[in-house]
Amino acid sequence: MKKPPWDQQIASVLVKPLVATPISPNQLTLFTLAVALAGAALFAVGDPVAANWGAGLFVLARFMDHFDGELARQSGKTSKLGYYLDYISGALSYGALFLCLGIGFRDSVLGDWAWVLGIAGCASALISMFLNLGIDKAQELEEGEAIGYPGFAGFELEDGIYLIAPITWAGLLLPFFAAAGTGAAIYTLWSLFVLLKTRKARS
């Protein structure tokens, strides 16, 4: 069995005290989404201090994204609703991040390209959600399971988002935004390739 990435392993330990509480996995998902949207919104302000706080909140939210799944597994509360809610939460989080970064950099050297990158990144996040759902269905995964991201040495491709905090604090958010917008489009194309390949293999 594939070993979980490091952040998921840490989350599995931190979530243990919640197993015997009334807190449900779906409640954790919605709380995580609220934290992510709050972090994303701070990027739209266009102020470095607000962006620093936004980066911290968004990274926290992406780490907490593992909590709901771990709680569901450890408490035996996996559900179809939770499965879809987790996908929707992730897509909305990343979509809001790109859109708000585009708004925040509207007066930067990027000019109108900030809007283009923001909208393109947001669209990529939403499209990727549907593609990943299609991959799950094509692979006939069991309830509560989802496709994994490409990874190496205990880290997944998605873990790269953690870098947004130190990059923002170092004042390098603008080039990161430009690179991330391109990366989001590439990931969408990769997801499309995997979906088509999986469907072909199953046919």
Domain assignment present for 20:
yes
Can you give the pLDDT at residue 1?
45
Instruction: Quote the domain boundaries for residue 129.
Output: 6-202
Give the predicted TM-score (pTM) of the model: 0.88
Can you give the pLDDT at residue 152?
57
pLDDT (tens digit, 9 = 90+) per residue, 71-81? 999 999 989 99
Q: Give the chain's residues under pLDDT 50.
A: 1
Domain assignment present for 150:
yes
Can you give the pLDDT at residue 149?
56
Domain assignment present for 63:
yes
Nearest-10 crossing angle of helices 6-14, 48-75: 70
Tell me how many domains the chain contains: 1
Residue with tokens 């449900």: 24
- Cβ-contact 193, 138 below 8 angstroms: no
CATH number for the domain including 169?
Answer: 1.20.120.1760
pLDDT (tens digit, 9 = 90+) per residue, 20-30? 899 999 999 99
- Cβ-contact 10, 70 below 8 angstroms: no
Domain assignment present for 1:
no
Can you give the pLDDT at residue 156?
72
Domain assignment present for 168:
yes
Domain assignment present for 152:
yes
Give the DSSP H/E element, type plus range, for residue 102. helix 80-104
SS3 43: helix
The residues, ordered by sequence, that sit 6+ positions from 99 with a Cβ below 8 Å of its Cβ are 40, 44, 118, 119, 121, 122
Can you give the pLDDT at residue 203?
73
